[in-house]
Amino acid sequence: STDYDTSDRLYFEPLTLEDVLEVVHAEQQAGPVAGVIVQLGGQTPLGLAQGLKDAGVPIVGTSPEAIHLAEDRGAFGQVLAQAGLPAPRHGTATAFDQARAIADEIGYPVLVRPSYVLGGRGMEIVYDDAMLRDYIERATQISPEHPVLVDRFLDDAIEIDVDALFDGDELFLGGVMEHIEEAGIHSGDSACALPPITLGREDIERIRQSTAAIARGVGVRGLINIQFAMASDVLYVLEANPRASRTVPFVSKATAVPLAKAAARVMMGSTIQQLRAEGLLPAEGDGGELPQGSPVAVKEAVLPFGRFHGVDTVLGPEMRSTGEVMGIDALFGTAYAKSQAGAYGPLPVKGTVFVSVANRDKRAMVFPVKRLHDLGFAIVATQGTADVLRRNGVEASVVRKHFEADNGQRDTVAMILDGDVDLIINTPFGVGARLDGYEIRTAAVVRGVPCITTIQGLGAAVQGIEALRAGEVGVRSLQSYADAIQAARTGGVG
């Protein structure tokens, strides 16, 4: 912790091998050092693990060799193959011809990214050869040492985040988080719910078995974070990180289990069975099977668009969030409404909704928009979207697109800037940097109007608006939620 009254000693030094070795040396002057934990500081400490071991510093928990197994694509692919777990088809390329051959074999769309970055930087979803050529030409650092990774993109998949503890024998599933946005949105930018809102017990059991197989195959001792995607009832493994992810504090609060503390104990040799007996972990069950009546927690990313006017607000595989908030309540809709209030301000409960969605989203948007209409919202839409809504019994006024010929009426952007729109639903269509709708989303940032860019986000927002209108949003301390979960685990009343 960087909290001076939690740590015995704090060092404010860069995370480089030289500086960490100096800290280890200073600590050794004060007494014996049991080892260094590299699992709780993100990706940078994992990269230092082998160097520290080579310098004679003991690494506690997952070994540098096991870290390499999870980090190296070929080695991790062998772990998955031995466990019989599917991953999206992929390949590596150092030139356009190689990348096109891989894309032809896998089939478009594909996810392309440099092999040397974090946070999804430089990652794009590519739909055809022309886009792929453009991406390769822009990838200035491409070389045999730094190839481009080409993955099959799982369209319409549910993305799932798992945090778990493994002691070499037993797995403790910390939490299973279901992303609200579909796969293709970076996990750091996607809202997620715990417990998952649409996954059944069989799905969670498959996730548990897959997580245990990966943790055992890699050789994890401590924390592991795995990202899965569920598409056509197939559970794909996207990636595994043998460390704490940014979701560990969220999972700990949502499930009333101190995961980081338990992980440190496991790294130092304690077993999950011992921690259950001590009461640090629940005596029975884990985060994959929360007791009946447990609250729903929603994590929402805080995005910095309000400070950077002119930046497109469309979410994608490149991470853009600068923080997170958490909403917690008995029901998903209320928890989601709280998360939005914390991140961006409250969802509207009345007023005008502007709708303009891509053709692929028109079928899925009908029911949520119809529900908003039934709740008393006025609906305005661009021509194509309005036609679909009217055919499905939703009255919608037509508003001119920003780039269409001036007919004397206000266009979409002017309407937003004039403050006459309370909620915007705009899913992008087309591909490239400046997708259609860019001006709409930019105007939304300028005016501070909530702007939803995915159909999944729209469905969640409708549930949140319903909860707000029903007056079901109450305030309760995190400690009281934790007490309720603990009471439910022991058969008491929360």
* E-only strand ranges, 242-305: 296-302
206-220: b (≥16 Cβ within 10 Å) or e: bbbebbbbbbebbbb
Residues 458 and 356 in one domain: yes
Q: Is the pLDDT of residue 2 over 50?
A: yes
Q: pTM to 2 decimals? A: 0.85
Mean pLDDT within 456-482 = 90
CATH number of the domain bearing residue 222: 3.30.470.20
One domain for residues 465 and 416: yes
In this structure, the answer to whether residues 183 and 272 fall within a common structural domain is yes
Residue 432 has a pLDDT of: 41
Residue 311 has a pLDDT of: 65
pLDDT at 306: 63
pLDDT tops 50 at residue 433: no
Q: Is residue 391 part of a domain?
A: yes
Q: Are residues 352 and 455 in the same domain?
A: yes
Closest CA to 150 of 137, 135, 164: 135
CA dihedral 58, 62, 68, 73 (to 10 degrees): -170
Q: Is the domain of 130 the same as that of 171?
A: no
On the question of pLDDT at 494 being above 50, the answer is no
Which residue in the block uniquely carries the two structure tokens 């992810």? 245
Residue 222 belongs to some domain of the structure: yes
Rg (CA), the chain: 24
Residues 277-335: pLDDT tens digits? 999 999 999 999 899 889 999 998 887 766 666 666 666 666 777 788 999 999 999 99
pLDDT at 312: 62
* Amino acid letter for position 109: P
Highest mean pLDDT among 146-150, 245-249, 309-313: 245-249
Residue 399 CA to residue 402 CA, distance in Å, equals 9
pLDDT digits (tens, 9 = 90+) for 205-229: 999 999 999 999 999 999 999 999 9
Indicate whether 378 belongs to any domain: yes
> Within this chain, do residues 266 and 380 fall inside the same structural domain, yes or no?
no
Examine the domain organization and report whether 187 and 206 are in the same domain: yes
Within this chain, do residues 98 and 188 fall inside the same structural domain, yes or no?
A: no
* Lookup: tokens for 157: 């998949």
Query: Cα 255 to the chain's mean position, in Å?
Result: 18
Last residue in a domain, options 126, 152, 178: 152
406 in a domain, yes or no? yes
Question: How many residues can be counted in the chain?
Answer: 494
Structural domain count of the chain: 4
Beta strands in 127-261 (DSSP E): 148-152, 158-166, 171-179, 192-194, 222-231, 234-241
Identify whether residues 181 and 272 lie together within a single domain: yes
- Over range 420-428, report the average pLDDT: 89
Measured distance CA(6)–CA(326) in Å, rounded: 23
Tell me which of 294, 314, 339 is where a domain ends. Answer: 294
In-domain check, residue 79: no
Question: Which uninterrupted H or E stretch holds 130?
Answer: helix 129-138
Q: Is residue 120 part of a domain?
A: yes
Residue where a domain terminates, one of 152, 173, 192:
152
Is residue 7 situated within a structural domain? no
CB 214 within 8 A of CB 85: yes
* Average pLDDT over the chain, rounded to an integer: 86
* Residue 399 structural domain: 348-470
Are 221 and 117 part of one and the same domain?
Answer: no
Distant-in-sequence, close-in-space partners of 230: CB < 8 Å, separation ≥ 6: 157, 158, 160, 199, 203, 236
Which DSSP category does 174 fall into? E
CATH number of 132's domain: 3.30.1490.20
Give the pLDDT confidence score for residue 234 in this predicted structure. 92
Domain match, 259 and 220 both = yes
- The count of other CB atoms within 10 Å of the CB of residue 383 is 13
What's the confidence (pLDDT) of residue 119?
46
Residues of the chain with pLDDT > 90, as a percent, come to 50
Please give the pLDDT value at position 278.
95
My answer on whether 282 and 190 are in the same domain is: yes
Q: 302 lies in a domain? A: no
> What does the pLDDT look like over 90-116, one tens digit per residue?
888 888 888 899 999 988 888 888 765
Distance of CA 207 to the CA centre of its chain: 17
Gap between the Cα atoms of 94 and 88, Å rounded:
20
CATH, residue 362: 3.40.50.1380
- pLDDT, residue 434, reads 37
User: Judging by beta carbons within 10 Å of its beta carbon (0-12, 13-18, 19+), is residue 159 exposed, middle or buried?
Assistant: buried
CATH code for position 31:
3.40.50.20
